[in-house]
Structure 1
Amino acid sequence: MAEHIVSILDITPVTHNVKRFTLQKPAGYAFAPGQATDVAINLPDWKDQLRPFTFTALNEWDTLEFTIKIYDDHPGVTHQLGLLKPGDSLILHDVWGAIQYQGEGVFIAGGAGITPFIAIFRQLHKEGKVGNNKLIFSNKTRADIILETEFRAMLGKNFINTLTDEAFPGYDHHYVDEVYLRDKVKNYRQHFYICGPDAMVAGLQPIIRKLGGESVIVEL
């Protein structure tokens, strides 16, 4: 398994608990939108603590980017990532599958599960191929929505936000369940991409198939 030690060039906040990490890009390092790699922090006590993160940059960019939710409720890897500064370094490994675009459809994301879809939509937008793709994004509150402005610019009315723990004008207030999908999706003869908490991904697959969906794509 190849290892690449890369310096952190910049760290910027995206939401109250999500940060964007901009990194050096190793020569010849390539990936497709939606793919991921295993990442470790280049410190003695953390080198063996690998965690999967999805690339949110495009392959053609000169730098790499990860958009990472920081969990400060326990002293784990993301908490430690949140303590890093530009000039610190990470260890990247081989690129692997995750979730890749197979054609127009409905994307359903829960919280930080949006990350594989960031590069996919950025690539589609760059190529002028966003088309009729729809993104249903579920979060607890408005403050949790990652890249809301960018997604709204790319998708317009096909960017649908629902909040589970907060009622706010202009946003749906509902869990993504069978009732909600019946209301929001009329055509099930298209691709469905799902990424989010395990329980959400597992629960939605049989619902979509019950409603007539045949192509359900999840992270590998």
Structure 2
Amino acid sequence: MTSTVTIRAITPVAHNVFSYDLDRPEGYSFEPGQATEVAIDKDGWRDEKRPFTFTSLPGDERLQFTIKSYPDHDGVTDQLQKLLVGDRLIIDEPWGTISYKGPGVFIAGGAGLTPFLAILRERNNSEGHLADHTLLFANRRERDIILRDELETIPGLTVRYILSEEDKSGLDHGMIDRAYLESVIDDFDQTFYLCGPDPMVKDLKAVLNDLGADPEGLVFEK
């Protein structure tokens, strides 16, 4: 079942990332970490559905998506950044296999942070802190880091930023690979949450399994 919703606010959170706040259909429910298919309610775009993750919380009055735009692709995300408050989107029912399984290490690549945002926000709201939770957040450049101010004010959350194309003071440089994980993680007998480009997730699943992580303790979009 689809719903047509109106954009009520558009907020830039990085040079190429925007949060879209939308009307919430009556009775529409989802769990933190879930996503849905989204299309633009305009001629030529209604059948162009793309998956985006909710960054709002289940109890919020409005729905929210935080979406990275790719102008060079001339696709849905490029069109999204051209929309205005009052334009409409079409959303499907929620789906997804990323959900909270307890404290652990969240590994995000770029826009792969989005399913974790709702999870971290919900846990912070309910517990007041995120002790024993670690976020490893990989980006190309420092300016690509989204919602850094919010992440750094969540009590108890350990955050490490990893940049692949810049070497900046106070930030890690390189890739999240086996050597990096061994250098920053002491205990692999815990839950690991993975989201990012498909090759990154595939490689890290293999690395974590090799390092002794329980395959049942890996949470990713199947």
| Same-fold call, TM cutoff 0.5 | yes
Q: Aligned residue for 2:159?
A: 159
Shift >6 Å, 4+ stretches: none
Q: Aligned residue for 1:103?
A: 102
Q: Aligned residue for 1:80?
A: 79
Q: Whole-Å Cα distance in 2 between the matches of residues 202 and 219 of structure 1?
A: 11
Question: Equivalent residues in 2 for 1:10-29 (5 A)?
Answer: 10-29=9-28
Q: Whole-Å Cα distance in 2 between the matches of residues 34 and 118 of structure 1?
A: 8
Q: CA deviation at 1:98?
A: 3.8
Q: What is the TM-score when the length of structure 2 is the normalising length?
A: 0.96
Q: 1:69-128: per-residue Cα shift (whole Å, max 9, x none)?
A: 000002100001111000000001111124101111100000000000000000010011
CA contact (8 A) 1:134 1:155 kept: no
Q: CA deviation at 1:197?
A: 0.5
Q: Aligned residue for 1:35?
A: 34
Q: Aligned residue for 1:213?
A: 213
Q: Aligned residue for 1:61?
A: 60
Q: Whole-Å Cα distance in 1 between the matches of residues 151 and 209 of structure 2?
A: 27
Q: Whole-Å Cα distance in 1 between the matches of residues 155 and 176 of structure 2?
A: 19
| 3-state SS in 2 of match to 1:143 | helix
Q: Which amino acid aligns with 1:140?
A: R
1:183 aligns with 2:183: yes
Bigger shift: 80-89 or 156-165?
Answer: 156-165
Q: Whole-Å Cα distance in 1 between the matches of residues 144 and 73 of structure 2?
A: 19
1:201 aligns with 2:210: no
Q: Whole-Å Cα distance in 2 between the matches of residues 18 and 201 of structure 1?
A: 22
Bigger shift: 156-165 or 24-33?
Answer: 156-165
| 3-state SS in 1 of match to 2:150 | helix
Structure 2, unmatched stretches of 5+, are none
Q: RMSD in angstroms over aligned alpha carbons?
A: 1.0
Q: Whole-Å Cα distance in 2 between the matches of residues 155 and 137 of structure 1?
A: 17
Q: CA deviation at 1:44?
A: 1.6
Q: CA deviation at 1:59?
A: 0.8
1:51 aligns with 2:42: no
> Cα distance 1:182–1:155, how it changes in 2: closer, same or farther (>3 A)?
farther
> Cα distance 1:155–1:111, how it changes in 2: closer, same or farther (>3 A)?
farther
CA contact (8 A) 1:36 1:98 kept: no
CA contact (8 A) 2:135 2:157 kept: no
Q: CA deviation at 1:131?
A: 2.4
Q: Aligned residue for 2:133?
A: 133
CA contact (8 A) 2:37 2:49 kept: yes
CA contact (8 A) 1:19 1:67 kept: yes
- Percent identity reads 45
Q: Which amino acid aligns with 1:134?
A: T
Q: CA deviation at 1:157?
A: 6.2
